[in-house]
Amino acid sequence: MVVKSSVLKELESLYTRPGNQLFVLSGRADSEKELLLKQFLEKKKHFYYRARPASALEQRNRMGAELADKMKTALTKYTYDEYFNRVRSGDPTKLVVVIDEFQHIVKKDGEFIASVLKLKGKRLYPGPVMILLCSSAVAWVDRELGDCIGETAAKKIDEIIRIGNLNFLEVVRALPEYPVSECIRVYGVIGGVPGYISRWESGKSLKENLCRLVLREDGYLHGAVEALLKAELRELSVYETILAAIAGGVDKLNDLYLATGFSRAKISVYMKNLSAFGIIQKVVSFETGGWENAKKGIYRICDHYVNFWFHFIYPHLSDFYMMEPEEFYDTRIAPGMDAYLGRYFIEVCMEYMQLLDMVGKLPLSIRKMGTWVGKKGNIDIIAQNGIRQNMVGLCNWDRPQLTMAMCEDLFSNMEKARIKAEHYYLFSAKAFEPAVTELAARDKRFILVDMNQL
């Protein structure tokens, strides 16, 4: 099983702080939040309670029963004050109190957060304590937690920690049997969701895994997209219509209005919700002098698996249920896979440059990085230092060679964007045309990076 190791390290670091702390930890379904907590709590004195969607009275009774059993103590009042007064580490070591899915409590019972603040303030338990309020309702934590518990309580939270997805390097480490090229394919399809990666078998091909996990009715990812959307969104018919349009290439608000038939006001509200939930993002071109040649206000699905689902599965849902998995893959997925993965190859190349920057192996130190999206043509990567010197990246995933013609297109797009570059990084998943190799040999501004180097 795979967890976000950087979050685990952060929790360990926070645990060593003196005194009492209150943290909120959020992570979407399949973030492996529970596994991460289990690893963190190992060999620490702790009390863990998993809240249910229950009434306030039922919740208090359930927590009381579990606490009485684990702490071997008798309860009389069955209040949160009493519960937090009875928790003990048994020695001077710091106690960790974890209330998981705490949104089920605070939405119905105001006494809970008041008792939590008393616990933090040493009014119920004298020893050092680390309080972790955990939730898989990520959008709720980001947008509604403060209103739910009140401004005063919100200010008492020391830090809100988000369990993010694995980056590409972490995906590579999690799939040690795969070459880099295959890791890119996996990353492009399911992203770095820890729960998805945990169930991927690196001893099997992309096709075998997709047939097993996605295309079979009992596959773990078969209904994952709908489950993800249902977790915090309503009116799925509206959201799915919008996502299908974006996956099909309709990426501007006005075009979405025309394609879906929904009003501009309605589209805007639903797009805002999808953005808050981390499903879509507004793409902003890297700021250059050629603003009049750049596309403005375009949207993309940023969740990798949601994008894969609406690109390959949703348009062919009838075949999805009627065809055998292998037939569906060969007919509906395989022909378009290489073209689809180009976008994610650019993400991987950006991460590669960021890693080089971290260890001081780039000719310029990166201050900001992005993509320039033109009305006609794009620039895959622009990385800029503090004095506006640029490194430009060109990424070739699906063509047999990165060619001089592709370089000429890059130079043309740079003219439209009105930028110049001190260095050029040319990434190719397969090969370089001899003319490009010769260019790099005589002009040291051009740096060639092949798949094996990644």
DSSP structure string for 345-367: HHHHHHHHHHHHHHTT-SSS--S
* Identity of the residue numbered 59: Q
The pLDDT mean for the chain works out to: 94
**Are 287 and 175 contained in the same domain?**
yes
Q: What is the dihedral of CA 439, 440, 445, 447, to 10 degrees?
A: 140
Where among 287, 311, 343 does a domain terminate? 343
Using alpha carbons only, what angle is made at residue 451 by residues 303 and 197, rounded to the nearest 5 degrees?
35
CB atoms within 10 A of CB 67: 20
Phi then psi dihedrals of residue 160, to 5 deg: -110, 125
CA pair distance 449, 130, nearest whole angstrom = 46
Phi then psi dihedrals of residue 135, to 5 deg: -155, 145
Two structure tokens written together for 53? 């969607």
**DSSP assignment, residue 279?**
S
Mind giving me the DSSP string for 408-432?
HHHHHHHHHHT---SEEEEEESS-B
CATH number of the domain enclosing 202: 1.10.10
**Are 187 and 150 contained in the same domain?**
no
**Are 357 and 331 contained in the same domain?**
no
**Are 130 and 181 contained in the same domain?**
no
**Are 13 and 144 contained in the same domain?**
yes
CA neighbours closer than 13 Å in the CB half-sphere of residue 435: 8
CATH number of the domain enclosing 402: 3.40.1350.10
- Which regions in the chain score pLDDT beneath 50? none
Where among 127, 162, 197 does a domain terminate? 162
According to the model, what pLDDT value does residue 295 have? 87
Q: What pLDDT digit, counting tens, does each position of 119-157 carry?
A: 999 999 888 999 999 999 998 999 999 999 999 999 999
Is 369:353 a contact under the CB 8 Å cutoff?
Answer: yes
Where among 112, 130, 162 does a domain terminate? 162
User: What is the enclosing helix (H) or strand (E) of 207?
Assistant: helix 206-210
CB atoms within 10 A of CB 441: 10
**Are 224 and 137 contained in the same domain?**
no
**Are 212 and 324 contained in the same domain?**
yes
**Are 274 and 179 contained in the same domain?**
yes
According to the model, what pLDDT value does residue 89 have? 83
Strand partners, 373: 378
Phi then psi dihedrals of residue 423, to 5 deg: -145, 150
How far from the centroid of its chain's Cα atoms is residue 263's Cα? 29
According to the model, what pLDDT value does residue 351 have? 96
CA pair distance 111, 105, nearest whole angstrom = 9
CA pair distance 291, 93, nearest whole angstrom = 58
Helix (H, G, I), strand (E, B) or coil at 281: strand
Record the pTM.
0.91
Residues 6+ apart with CB under 8 A from 13: none
Looking at the structure of the chain, the number of domains it has is: 3
Helix (H, G, I), strand (E, B) or coil at 324: coil
**Are 121 and 105 contained in the same domain?**
yes
Tokens 């919740």 -> residue: 59
Is 368:390 a contact under the CB 8 Å cutoff?
Answer: no
CATH number of the domain enclosing 98: 3.40.50.300
Within 261-394, residue ranges assigned H as helices are 264-276, 304-308, 317-322, 325-328, 334-358
Q: What pLDDT digit, counting tens, does each position of 388-431 carry?
A: 999 999 999 999 999 999 999 999 999 999 999 999 999 999 99
**Are 336 and 373 contained in the same domain?**
no
Strand partners, 247: none
Q: Taken in order 136, 119, 160, 16, is the CA torsion positive or negative? A: negative
Q: Which domain holds residue 267?
A: 168-343
Two structure tokens written together for 122? 């040493």
Q: Taken in order 196, 187, 284, 387, is the CA torsion positive or negative? A: positive
**Are 372 and 384 contained in the same domain?**
yes
**Are 119 and 268 contained in the same domain?**
no
